[in-house]
Amino acid sequence: MKLRNYLSLLRPPNVFTSVADVLAGFLYVGGWLDDWITILLLALISACLYGAGIAFNDVCDLTRDAVQRPDRPIPSGRVSRSAALLLIGVLVIVALKLSALVSSRTLATTGLLVLAIILYDWAVKSTPLAPGVMGCCRALNVALGMSIVPLEDNGTAVGPLVLMWFYVTSLTFFARKEGGDSERARLILGTLGVCSAVIGLALIVPPHRTAHGAYFLFVAALSASLAYLGIIAIRDRSQPQVQRTVGHFVMAIILIDLAIAWAARGLVVATPIALLLVPTLLLRKWFRMT
């Protein structure tokens, strides 16, 4: 039971969206699936940082959650604040140590991501800067996978980073009032941003690659699906519906990562990213995503 409480704090379904980010970045810049040691290290680093960020978010939101979400692990007393902070510290240290095993660029990117997480949770979450900083966290997570090569050796890598930043910034803007009924204008703008970012995936195919029609059909279908989900939330605007839509938008990050890898390496190489949807959907039955 105690283990379940700690897992609830870390929101396991979301962790696989983070792993998808680093795998997409790794594949986009030329990594190979047979380099399983590097993939495993990057996945563990990303999972540790995501878990630490989620837990730190709940630590910082303790006062608000005590009123709006008293069932969460910390305000409910199932996990103490001091135990949560200890867990966060352990996860960050493990991530930094594992990063040093990959490369100095990976370690530097991990350090930047830790700073971005602290900045978001501790300083800007309640300010208008929050969506953009959260977008930076996700973009840095993709960059973590790309850290196996110098950025100047793969200038086209900037495109996926910008699109991930824009998608998550829009998602976070959409979700800003998920604890209560949301303003229609916020939901409309957030949905437009999310869909625009997905449509932008059509532009990130590297010059040396030729994307087939199936890729562009996938991008169009994903954008249309997210637009449909957004419209449902815009019409309803209730807390439960907005939270459900936010959960779908978060899961769609795996499909965006699939598209990023697909654009650069083809569908066969990118397919393992799609498989991350399986544990995400299974764990979603037992643990919350938002």
pLDDT at 67: 77
In a domain, 288, yes or no: no
| Angle, alpha carbons 250-255-259 (nearest 5°) | 135
Number of domains within the chain: 1
At 81, list the tokens. 């604040």
Q: Reply yes or no on whether the pLDDT at 181 is more than 60.
A: no
In a domain, 148, yes or no: yes
In a domain, 289, yes or no: no
* Averaged confidence pLDDT in the chain: 92
Element (H, E) at 26: helix 12-28
231-281 pLDDT tens trace: 999 999 888 899 999 999 999 999 999 999 999 999 999 999 999 999 999
The single-letter code of the amino acid at 2 is: K
- Kindly indicate the confidence band of residue 178, based on its pLDDT and cuts at 50, 70 and 90: low
The whole-model pTM stands at 0.93
- Kindly indicate the confidence band of residue 155, based on its pLDDT and cuts at 50, 70 and 90: low
User: Three-state DSSP class for 150?
Assistant: coil
Q: Reply yes or no on whether the pLDDT at 85 is more than 70.
A: yes
Residue ranges making up the domain that contains 241? 2-283
Give the lowest-confidence range in 3-17, 33-47, 66-80: 66-80
The predicted model gives 212-238 an average pLDDT of 95
Alpha-helical (H) ranges within 103-238 are: 104-118, 130-146, 158-174, 184-199, 213-236
In a domain, 290, yes or no: no
Q: What is the CATH number of the domain that holds 209?
A: 1.10.357.140
In a domain, 16, yes or no: yes
- Kindly indicate the confidence band of residue 183, based on its pLDDT and cuts at 50, 70 and 90: confident
In a domain, 26, yes or no: yes
In a domain, 190, yes or no: yes
Long-range contacts formed by 128-135: CB under 8 A, 24+ apart: 130/172, 130/176, 131/168, 131/169, 131/170, 131/172, 131/173, 131/176, 132/165, 132/169, 134/168, 134/169, 134/172, 135/164, 135/165, 135/166, 135/167, 135/168, 135/169, 135/172
- Can you tell me the distance from the alpha carbon of 113 to that of 119, in angstroms, rounded to the nearest whole number? 10
In a domain, 29, yes or no: yes
